[in-house]
Homo-oligomer: A and B are copies of this chain.
Amino acid sequence: MTADIERLLDETGWQLLQALQENARLSFQALGQRVGLSAPAVAERIRRMEDAGIIKGYRAEIDTALIGLPITAIVRISTPMGERYSQFATTAPEIAEVLECYHVTGNDALVMKVAVSSVKHLESLIDRLSVYGQVTTSIVLSAPVTHRTITRQTLQPPEDER
């Protein structure tokens, strides 16, 4: 963490980040009231956090189940893939059903979160993915945590665990 970024993350910076994680459409004025700053001051701080790359963007969160994608699954692709990995890294973004994709250590080279409209749709997706390695599919039953808000606290493991 550069000194540059550390300077932005004082108490006020964290309060702004937290507020924007909870509701990204809050006005600068509303944000200012929460943190005790004027709207222009807030606007400047947020612009700097955007420029520094701390804030990567603002996104509406959509209920996939409600709009016709009732099944969410975690799909892992294991098997040594060799050069097929770099190929997959470029094709993954083109598979519409893949909401998230991670290249990870360990036996499973790839872990993905996917959303599909039916079991048949899931089957066809698995077929398409099995070209790249052995596919393991786990259907999501429930999600106790979806998008945890990151706070200053998240960074602070207990004293003896840093």
Given A144-B92, A148-B99, also A121-B60 (CB < 8 A) = no
A99 to chain B, nearest CB (A): 5
Is residue A7 within 8 Å, beta carbon to beta carbon, of the partner chain?
Answer: no
Given A99-B147, A136-B106, also A56-B61 (CB < 8 A) = yes
CA distance A97 to B148 in the complex (A): 9
Do A53 and B69 have beta carbons less than 8 Å apart?
Answer: no
Do A74 and B111 have beta carbons less than 8 Å apart?
Answer: yes
A39 partner residues in chain B, CB cutoff 8 A:
none
Do A154 and B100 have beta carbons less than 8 Å apart?
Answer: no
Within 8 A of B (CB), among A82-123: 88-90, 92-93, 96-106, 108, 111-112, 115-118, 120-121, 123
CA distance A73 to B139 in the complex (A): 20
A94 to chain B, nearest CB (A): 10
Do B67 and A56 have beta carbons less than 8 Å apart?
Answer: no
- Please report A residues at the B interface, Cβ cutoff 8 Å: 1, 5, 9, 17, 20-25, 52-64, 66-69, 72-74, 88-90, 92-93, 96-106, 108, 111-112, 115-118, 120-121, 123-125, 136-148, 150-151, 153-155, 157-158, 161-162
